[in-house]
Amino acid sequence: MVTPFAWLAQRVALERKSLKAASLSAMIAAILIIVGGGVVRVTGSGLGCPDWPTCTGASIAPTAEMGIHATIEFVNRLLTFVLCAAVGWVIIAARLQREAVPQITRWAWFQFWLVVLNAVIGGVTVWVKLNPYVVAAHFLAATLLLTAAAATWDKVQNLGRTEPQFSTESVRKLGSALVVLSAVLVILGTGVTGSGPHAGDSAEVPRMGFDWLLITVVHASVAFGALSVASVLWNRARRDQITEVERKAKLYVYVFAAQGLIGVIQSVTSLPELLVVAHLVGSALVWIGAVRVGIATHAPCREVQSPAR
């Protein structure tokens, strides 16, 4: 039995540049999903559409009488269709390559199922009236989708490379530590947000109940740890002449430093909405950097030659 993709692959062949463009668009769409959720939260529009999958029991779209909050929430829901189109493009582009790329095809389908998961958790979030733990799960699901999108994009960039990529055992351990610390940072960030003032709606919405100052300090401490590990990794990769890891670790440090500055400013200025959204953009970029560093540091190991005396 010939599947539709197999039938089409016999007649159409796409170049690598189409796959690169598709994977980049899917990653950008995944970032937009995270940022869109942040805009919904800081504008208090989380229950602008009080039902799901329709906006109300009788209408898919909001009515004019429902106001700006319903419009913001509905536009955020529409971003899912943009994401679906982008991920669909990746699946098609991967499947129709002149040279088969089964690994990329699997990652593309993984993104598809994560889109489905994210949409379902988003609906549950509305049904439970923005329970902060479900909201946190929704953000983490979106971050998992971003992980798959970033990994797909990074792997697509390396297709067809002729020069081998290597790592070392010490660099691999530092890379693993950086990914773990970055993941802990993301999880702690949901606790900071879930205990802060931006509940997601103007109605009475429950909060997580953590001491906001305490969990913010813990969050900042882990951030300092991640930045320190990234700096050590950068220097170690430069010493061992692992250029791919050095380049990605350096970029991680620069983006992380900017993200940290935004985080400090927003904390001491009572969390203004624009800075909260900017911090979400930064968190997405930092996580993409962590994923790329993790992939680069887990290339095959080689021995490091001791310098001649």
Q: What is the mean pLDDT of the chain?
A: 88
Q: For residues 204-220, give the mean pLDDT.
A: 87
Q: pLDDT-based confidence at 286, cuts 50/70/90?
A: very high
DSSP 169-203: HHHHHHHHHHHHHHHHHHHHHHHHHHHSS--SBSS
| CA atoms of 71 and 53, how far apart (whole Å) | 15
User: Which pLDDT tens digit goes with each residue over 87-100?
Assistant: 999 999 998 888 88
Measured CA distances, 210 to 29, 132, 194 (Å)? 32, 11, 8
Residues 6+ apart with CB under 8 A from 181: 222, 225, 226, 229
User: Which pLDDT tens digit goes with each residue over 104-152?
Assistant: 999 999 999 999 999 999 999 999 988 899 999 999 999 999 999 999 9
Which range, of 80-84, 114-118, 163-167, averages the lowest pLDDT? 163-167
Per-residue pLDDT for 62 more than 80?
Answer: yes
Amino acid identity, position 35 = V
pLDDT of 117 reads 95
pLDDT of 99 reads 82
User: Which pLDDT tens digit goes with each residue over 235-253?
Assistant: 999 998 898 999 999 999 9
pLDDT of 306 reads 47
pLDDT of 308 reads 46
pLDDT of 297 reads 93
| CA atoms of 288 and 248, how far apart (whole Å) | 10
Label residues 22-47 b or e (16+ Cβ within 10 Å = b). bbbbbbebbbbbbbbbbbbbbbbbbb
Q: pLDDT-based confidence at 82, cuts 50/70/90?
A: very high
Q: For residues 207-218, give the mean pLDDT.
A: 89
User: Which pLDDT tens digit goes with each residue over 290-302?
Assistant: 999 999 998 776 6
Q: pLDDT-based confidence at 198, cuts 50/70/90?
A: low
